Structure 1
Amino acid sequence: MEIVSEKYPRTYHFPFSEGAVNDDRIQEEWQELLAQEIVVTEKLDGENTCIKANGVYARSHGAVNRNPWAKPIWEIWERVGSSLQDLHLFGENLYAIHSIEYARLDSHFYLFAVRDNGLWLSWDEVEWYAQLLDLPTVPVLERGSCTATQLQTIIANQQAQGSRLGGESEGVVCRNAAAFPETEFSQHVLKYVRKNHVQTDEHWIRNWKRAPLWFERPDFQTTGGELGTD
């Protein structure tokens, strides 16, 4: 029996997150996260999605997600859903273009967390399940120990260089590399979001467009298989 809230918890911002607004939660004790090994990943601009044994869900778990842009996630569920049992797979659904159109997508779903009842699994376990289930993870920018200054430099460099998937960077997520309980989520996962990022998802829903994978893009087709890095 599950003992935790179904949906993905609200992620607190770093105090220096430029995209934080008045109703966002800020973690003032953020440097405590740096006392252990951390993993810094890219925050992708998509729909927070959960795959679990009984279906596919968006951020709210009140009902399964039957929107047309969830179609490829249901295809993943048909392949792996029966084996999940109590596991919840959380990832970014990039099938529909939100604010950022990525030029180098090789998948429409990128795994970023796995929960087993009240425990968020370690990053090593997330990568293990990703390999087992043939799913990519969100891009990893850095892993290890770092100071507050080093972390802010990593974030600044990521924002300046842009997304590993091509295009602007939405931000980064920093998490404890080890496993941790649901009740301590706000202490172990924090985010930085770019300035002036879109605050609502409603803008893309009315006339949503499918995001092409890298090999489907016109610039790939016209260059004989060479996709530019700009």
Structure 2
Amino acid sequence: MRTPYPRTPHLPWSPGASSDDVRVADLDAWRGREVVVTEKLDGENTTLYPDGLHARSVDSAHHPSRSWVKGLQGRIGSRLPRGWRICGENVYARHSIEYAGLESWFYGFSVWDGDRCLDWDRTVRFLRDLGVPVPPVLWRGVFDERALRRLRVDTARQEGFVVRTVDGFARDEFGRRVAKWVRAHHVRTDTHWMTAPVVENGLGSASVLWDVRSGAPVDVPALLDVVGVGGDVEPAAAVASELVGEARLTGVLAAALHRVRRGRVMSRLAGSVGVEVARRVGDLVGLHRLLHEPFPDEARRPGLLRLSTAVDLGVLHAVSAAVARDADARDHVAWSALHAEDVEAFDGLRSGLRERLSGPAAERCWAEARDASVRAGRVLGVDEAVAATWRWRSGDFPSLVQLVGLSGSGKSTFAAGVPADVRVSLDDLREEAGDRADQRVEVLRAGLDRLDAALRDRRTAVWDATSLIEQQRAVVHAVARRHDAMVTHAVLLVDEREVARRNRTRAHAVPAAVLDAQARRFSPPYPWQAHRTWYIGAGGAVDDDAGEP
């Protein structure tokens, strides 16, 4: 069954509405609802199904500008559930606006399960795994007419914007949940684009990331150019043939970069592919060698369960097999893969605990249940986990946030925004001692004493130091364990080049040689090494919490 995309009404102040266009008559239905505003792209409305596609008209004929999106549908159609469809914009051909740096020639803006439009966040996740980007987000928040009227649109290069509710909705609610603002005199050419020669819009370098996700042939050198790190082409190509979606991107990158230091992989990729993908690739790079070695069978399931808190086991085994040094290593990987088939996912346990518990206690109980599952070699049931974590359900325990990152990566700035009773900064302690370069053990002891006193009083403390390697983090963890504190790692993943730039403008710049040494030593923690882990990018926000791989 083919379903035409509904007509989108114009907002009351949209200057591009013509006399036969529909306008939103009443904004009351929007008030109090969270909305997201995205750029309205200048292309052809197109709907993809598991078995085909059409433009706005369900009986649209062939046109040369539709050939590329037909190829995309051929790659991803089989991954669409029956009865689902993707609505989006085919921007392959230039219409009234010339684009030069597109992420793809197709952007999805809604996903439908029959007559039900998925909520926005689920839409973004679903499309991302298929290799389909969403239009740029211009604003998000509770509906505010004044804020929307203040949005500035560059009408020379933007057609307008679309506003929709974040929540999903039924098809018959469309006119009360979606609206648009279009620039005046949008069509500014004398010839209709369908009768004119097809001129391709320009793709940006990041389009290769979406190609990999969507299942297109992988141009590994181009991919490595985007991330800015050299790597190996052959194993990356081997992994590409086994995986799909986001797993394909992380697997290809990990296989290509398997010889690169894990800390450098995570920091360098955070800016080009995002913090979440960078973290997953880095963890794959750090863990894949473990599968090349013999391991006692009785300990395999607990070990694989632990690894599954950081990486997708299927991707890990694919990468490990692709880069294996010899036949023995490949045999070890194959044997491990057989055991991995019996490893349960943590998804149900975590979601079940979130339904039963709330607040800091929920995160602590999840972490304790995760660790108990690893010790048991199986994922605990929700009821079993609730019973096993009774001692933390009150939330009456101290908390430690331990920062991890290079000097100049933004640790202190992030720490300033963490609600805490005590902040222990080794830089501040050195300054109190009269020398910010003081590396004596006495400074560390003074900091640990302050931390000990704060956690003993059941307070929330922040440990502000580089904590680059596990040994440095371990001495702080020992204090936390004494007081049964919940430990959160806040890991700053910022490109070394950006860190060096920031360092040059700091009041107390770190010598370049010291910064280089830090970058070489940087070994970020794995998710299981704390109750909770936050990964923070260059913008200073938590972009990934390593909840599930």
Corresponding residue for 2:140? 143
- The separation in 1 between residues aligned to 2:133 and 2:84, in whole angstroms, is 17
SS in 1 for 2:5: coil
- The separation in 2 between residues aligned to 1:107 and 1:212, in whole angstroms, is 9
Corresponding residue for 2:199? 209
- The separation in 1 between residues aligned to 2:191 and 2:38, in whole angstroms, is 25
One-letter amino acid of the structure 2 residue matched with residue 206 of structure 1: T
Corresponding residue for 2:4? 7
Q: Say if 2:162 and 2:179, in contact at 8 Å, map to a contact too.
A: yes
One-letter amino acid of the structure 2 residue matched with residue 203 of structure 1: H
SS in 1 for 2:31: helix
One-letter amino acid of the structure 1 residue matched with residue 66 of structure 2: A
Q: How does 1:99-138 map to 2 (within 5 A)?
A: 99-138=96-135
SS in 1 for 2:193: helix
* Aligned residue-pair number: 204
Deviation sequence 1:81-133 (CA, Å, 0-9, x none): 12222111011101000000012212100110111101011101110111210
When residues 113 and 201 of structure 1 are mapped into structure 2, their CA distance, relative to the original with a 3 A threshold, is: farther
Instruction: Flag the structure with larger Rg.
Output: 2
1:70 to 66, 69, 76: 66
Corresponding residue for 1:23? 20
Corresponding residue for 1:96? 93
One-letter amino acid of the structure 2 residue matched with residue 68 of structure 1: P
Q: Say if 2:96 and 2:188, in contact at 8 Å, map to a contact too.
A: no
Q: Say if 1:31 and 1:148, in contact at 8 Å, map to a contact too.
A: no
Q: Say if 1:98 and 1:201, in contact at 8 Å, map to a contact too.
A: no
SS in 1 for 2:19: coil
SS in 2 for 1:127: helix
- Is there any run of 5+ residues in structure 1 with no aligned partner, and where? 216-224, 226-230
- The separation in 2 between residues aligned to 1:102 and 1:72, in whole angstroms, is 16
Deviation sequence 1:190-217 (CA, Å, 0-9, x none): 00000011299961112221222235xx
The farther-off stretch of 141-150 and 51-60 is 141-150
Which of the pair is proportionally richer in strand?
A: 1
- The separation in 2 between residues aligned to 1:199 and 1:12, in whole angstroms, is 21
1:195 to 163, 184, 206: 184
Higher relative contact order (CA 8 A, sep 6+): 1
Which of the pair is proportionally richer in helix?
A: 2
Corresponding residue for 1:40? 37
Q: Say if 2:100 and 2:201, in contact at 8 Å, map to a contact too.
A: no
- The separation in 1 between residues aligned to 2:143 and 2:21, in whole angstroms, is 26
| Cα RMSD, aligned residues only | 2.1
When residues 121 and 199 of structure 1 are mapped into structure 2, their CA distance, relative to the original with a 3 A threshold, is: farther
- The separation in 2 between residues aligned to 1:31 and 1:49, in whole angstroms, is 30
Q: How many angstroms does 1:13 deviate by?
A: 0.6
SS in 2 for 1:112: strand
- The separation in 2 between residues aligned to 1:20 and 1:195, in whole angstroms, is 8
Task: Give the % identical residues.
Answer: 39
Q: How many angstroms does 1:66 deviate by?
A: 2.5
SS in 2 for 1:191: strand
The farther-off stretch of 195-204 and 18-27 is 195-204
One-letter amino acid of the structure 1 residue matched with residue 201 of structure 2: A
Q: Say if 2:96 and 2:189, in contact at 8 Å, map to a contact too.
A: no
- The separation in 1 between residues aligned to 2:26 and 2:119, in whole angstroms, is 22
Q: How many angstroms does 1:148 deviate by?
A: 1.2
SS in 2 for 1:22: coil
Corresponding residue for 2:464? none
One-letter amino acid of the structure 2 residue matched with residue 15 of structure 1: P
Q: How many angstroms does 1:144 deviate by?
A: 1.4
TM-score, normalised via structure 2 length: 0.36
